[in-house]
């Protein structure tokens, strides 16, 4: 007799654990790099393109060195270049006066997906240090989005 009472109790226990796992909030999605050619990757790069072209003159292409996104945030590190791989001469851009003090055209941007599009929250072109280090805005980003240097 005793064994017949164990089955419903075990079944109830399995059901309870299953229900709790389905109803409890899940672990936040981990950061990932949007796939080459994906719409998400293209949208992120197109969000920074007007800013970079305003500073470095059009047209520009991007070599993606780092791109991670999670929970509506993205961080990118790109190397802008002219179509076909041409080097951008900073002396012919809005950075002409400070080109000697820059790390080339290396561009970093923090973006947020809001209002159905990617928006630039912060950026730096040609920084010579890890400009985001110690900034509370970057410290609050989802794990894995901002690189740890």
Q: Could you tell me which residues come within 8 angstroms of residue 10 by beta carbon, excluding any fewer than 6 positions away? A: none
Mean pLDDT computed over 13-39: 64
Q: What is the CA radius of gyration of the chain?
A: 23
In DSSP terms, which residues pair with 61 in a beta bridge?
81
Q: Could you tell me which residues come within 8 angstroms of residue 96 by beta carbon, excluding any fewer than 6 positions away? A: 90
Mean pLDDT computed over 103-115: 98
Mean pLDDT, the chain, integer: 87
Q: Could you tell me which residues come within 8 angstroms of residue 19 by beta carbon, excluding any fewer than 6 positions away? A: none
- Find the DSSP H helices in the chain: 2-23, 39-56, 136-139
Distance CA 24, CA 74 (A): 26
Mean pLDDT computed over 86-91: 97
pTM of the predicted protein model: 0.80
Report the b/e string of 75-86 with b at 16+ CB within 10 A.
bbbbebbeeeee
Kindly state the tokens that stand for 147: 């690189």
Helix (H, G, I), strand (E, B) or coil at 69: strand
What proportion of the chain, given as a percentage, has pLDDT over 90?
Answer: 79
Mean pLDDT computed over 29-52: 97
Query: What is the per-residue pLDDT across 124-134, written as a single tens digit (0 to 9) for each?
Result: 999 999 999 99
Q: How confident is the model at residue 29 (pLDDT cuts 50, 70, 90)?
A: confident
Distance CA 134, CA 123 (A): 15
């Amino acid at each position: 007799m005793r064994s017949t009472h164990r089955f419903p109790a075990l079944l109830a226990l399995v059901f309870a654990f299953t229900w709790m796992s389905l109803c409890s909030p899940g672990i936040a999605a981990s950061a990932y790099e949007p796939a080459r050619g994906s719409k998400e990757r293209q949208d992120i790069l197109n969000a920074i393109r007007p800013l970079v072209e305003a500073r470095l003159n059009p047209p520009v292409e991007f070599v993606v060195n780092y791109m991670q996104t999670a929970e509506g945030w993205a961080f990118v590190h790109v190397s802008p270049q002219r179509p076909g791989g041409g080097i951008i001469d900073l002396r012919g851009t809005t950075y002409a006066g400070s080109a000697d003090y820059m790390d080339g055209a290396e561009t970093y941007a923090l973006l947020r997906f809001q209002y159905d599009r990617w928006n630039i929250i912060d950026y730096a072109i040609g920084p010579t240090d890890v400009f985001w280090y110690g900034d509370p805005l970057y410290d609050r980003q989802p794990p894995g989005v901002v690189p740890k240097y």
